[in-house]
Structure 1
């Protein structure tokens, strides 16, 4: 087994910049980011006229990129899976910027911060969600308007990093927290989630107990619910309508959605439908801000191809280990540092991980699942017999919650009336 190193001694991760691609046939991929990345490749099979229009329309929609701190531009990848491992940060902003239906809040907060790690051999992936109220150190970041630098903050909630120095500052903050290099990043606004859920035709989730969130106006009955558009967005945003009413519960509820999305895309062959693929790609580029390293469509496609063949049971959805506490007189959540060190040491060493903790307070195992866990005390679904077992798997401390994408879970709702 490879040597694990704690966060204090930063270790260089596996290569993450695109190099020479490995040719692989196109196929369904596992997450929203993959839709964008695979779009052009699938559209190419649907006729020259469509290809010409789609390429022109999507390429012309790409916004100027964001320069990450210390970023160097690597060689353009070939058409094929990216070589080596990948670390990518996905940021969700609730500013309402560009979304007239929601309205601008005057705040720019990264209320969703997710790190995606793809292993160098493309056999597994780890997705880590950071609580918005997590107290972290925010390093000095250049101001977005170029007028100087913000001073570092010894302890602040992670979701203010976007307001300090934009996407690049969020990347620097997560690099500081994890000890990992992160060469790829993207930010998506609320309307992007709406448009992309519409393009796929909705995501069907299991709701164990009804969700009534009076704060945002979401009401979902118990049972299977197909979410698209506004309801999909509100489901992902809901905090007080989820068991316990905390941000930690909201993350486990979001993982119910993400795991259902992975299984749905793989089962329905969504990306064989050129119309859906074009809609997904268009919705993404219209509503995302990306780092310069992601502006090349071939880079996006190569990352998608690295993900497409990873079995759902080898995609782990993890919540950053934390506990409720106070800092500088503010309430929020504090890191469980020993558990976090073990998690990111495994990622830095490019080793697969196993979740031994619970699904989190906002989710529960689906009692009607067609493939229940072989071990009721574990949260990971059993492996497909056709899937080779992973080597050197690192069991994570039980204080780390989450689930595999193969695991069928349900949202634990509650009623909240302000």
Structure 2
């Protein structure tokens, strides 16, 4: 049989019981209002992590049917306090245009592909967060998945990761990333185009820097060099543009998306946003009808508890990274051992540190203000005169082969230079691409 998935009959489906949270009792009007406010605050607290992450934390968390994952967190729903330990959340951006006629016109025949797949990892001590992007054209094994409409799909040894959503829905994408990374992912959310538009508008626009002009006929994105305040449809098209950025590949588009997300983090953490309750509430309501949550995430208390775990993380400790890949016919493949090292670090709850560039899709902002080190009144230390260790200390040795003293482990792992990305505190500009270069 070819590697293309084929659904099996309903009779071959292997059913199993999955624990779900019980339904909450109907609360009073006052309790309901309190939860809506808490959910609104949750949006602000966590929205700094990624565009799609914001969309998972919404006032109306039960607007759409939830999705049962293999690693659901069963049991008592956590109270309104920071969630215990580390957290893994998969955020999927769907290219589906169903129900979005106002944006794209009449629905077309495009499939439901996860063209954006990001893994949010919050450390156990809630001191750092990582957002890992998976290129849509990366070939990966896809496990056997249940067809949401009945039956199941056979496992595949090699398919592009962005097809997993169309085969078995959000749960299939989660299972695919779990198999690929070795991590357990108990929380997930699927976001559509319109959610991104609403979020950027809710905060009053997101400032982006463009180093060279962007010209893209496919998304009708044309931006001159300089700074632009983007919201709504313009923000969506900026995130979607590929031909007008870097080398025109999906890899450099991810660099551009990380630039936008970093700027969005800074915008939401700014006093102008946090002190404006209209913006806070608008952000909370922006994506009401544009997401689907896993059962484990479809609860306001759970949402707020995750929010509280990330609200105080420093910008420089929110890392956006793209998995390392190498080219192959028709797409890319994970690059080893750098790929394995990245997820081994996350599995061991180590903070990841970037050593490579931001990627070909972005460049450092030449106008960024660099803080000078604080001046000190203390006189500069003078070097002590060199001495012969062999005569000043009878036990000293000048043997070059002697073992150095082990330095204490600081709990971080520096990733390979092949891993591109930036922190939320890094200021970057888009490396635009004109029609002449396409």
Matched-pair contact (CA < 8 Å) for 2:58–2:288: no
Q: Does 1:131 align with 2:150?
A: no
CA change 1:301–1:209 in 2 (3 A) is same
How far apart in 2 are the matches of 1:105 and 1:409? 36
Question: Structure 2 stretches of 5 or more lacking a match?
Answer: 1-20, 22-37, 374-408
How far apart in 1 are the matches of 2:192 and 2:200? 13
CA change 1:395–1:111 in 2 (3 A) is same
Deviation, 1:130, is: 0.4
Q: Does 1:403 align with 2:406?
A: no
How far apart in 2 are the matches of 1:196 and 1:409? 21
* 1:339 aligned partner: 338
Q: Report the aligned-residue RMSD.
A: 2.3
How far apart in 2 are the matches of 1:34 and 1:161? 20
Work out the number of aligned pairs and report it: 358
Matched-pair contact (CA < 8 Å) for 1:37–1:302: no
How far apart in 1 are the matches of 2:95 and 2:160? 15
Q: Does 1:320 align with 2:323?
A: yes
Secondary structure in 1 matching 2:296:
helix
* 2:89 aligned partner: 88
**Residues 120-269 of structure 1: pairs in structure 2 closer than 5 A:** 120-146=124-150, 148-269=151-272
Q: Does 1:280 align with 2:283?
A: yes
Matched-pair contact (CA < 8 Å) for 1:62–1:295: no
Secondary structure in 1 matching 2:416:
coil
CA change 1:298–1:155 in 2 (3 A) is same
Deviation, 1:34, is: 6.0
How far apart in 2 are the matches of 1:268 and 1:256? 21
Out of 95, 119, 141, which is 1:115 matched to? 119
How far apart in 2 are the matches of 1:239 and 1:372? 33
Secondary structure in 1 matching 2:242:
coil
What do residues 126-171 of structure 1 show as CA deviations (whole Å, max 9, x unaligned)? Answer: 110000000000111000102x110111111000000000000000
How far apart in 1 are the matches of 2:83 and 2:251? 33
How far apart in 2 are the matches of 1:78 and 1:194? 32
* 2:360 aligned partner: 361
* 1:102 aligned partner: 104
How far apart in 1 are the matches of 2:337 and 2:86? 25
Question: Structure 1 stretches of 5 or more lacking a match?
Answer: 1-16, 18-22, 41-57, 375-389
Matched-pair contact (CA < 8 Å) for 1:63–1:289: yes
Q: Under a length normalisation based on structure 2, what TM-score does the superposition of the two structures give?
A: 0.78
How far apart in 2 are the matches of 1:173 and 1:234? 28
How far apart in 2 are the matches of 1:35 and 1:164? 26
Matched-pair contact (CA < 8 Å) for 2:353–2:414: yes
Deviation, 1:372, is: 7.3
How far apart in 2 are the matches of 1:392 and 1:124? 11
Out of 387, 390, 411, which is 1:392 matched to? 411
* 2:16 aligned partner: none
How far apart in 2 are the matches of 1:72 and 1:392? 27
Matched-pair contact (CA < 8 Å) for 2:359–2:421: yes
How far apart in 1 are the matches of 2:57 and 2:369? 29
CA change 1:182–1:306 in 2 (3 A) is same
Matched-pair contact (CA < 8 Å) for 1:313–1:406: yes
Deviates more, 1:298-307 or 1:308-317: 298-307
Matched-pair contact (CA < 8 Å) for 2:315–2:425: yes
How far apart in 1 are the matches of 2:332 and 2:372? 30
How far apart in 1 are the matches of 2:209 and 2:371? 15
Deviation, 1:96, is: 0.9
How far apart in 1 are the matches of 2:160 and 2:231? 30
Matched-pair contact (CA < 8 Å) for 2:94–2:115: yes
CA change 1:373–1:285 in 2 (3 A) is farther
Deviation, 1:229, is: 0.4
Out of 287, 296, 300, which is 1:297 matched to? 300
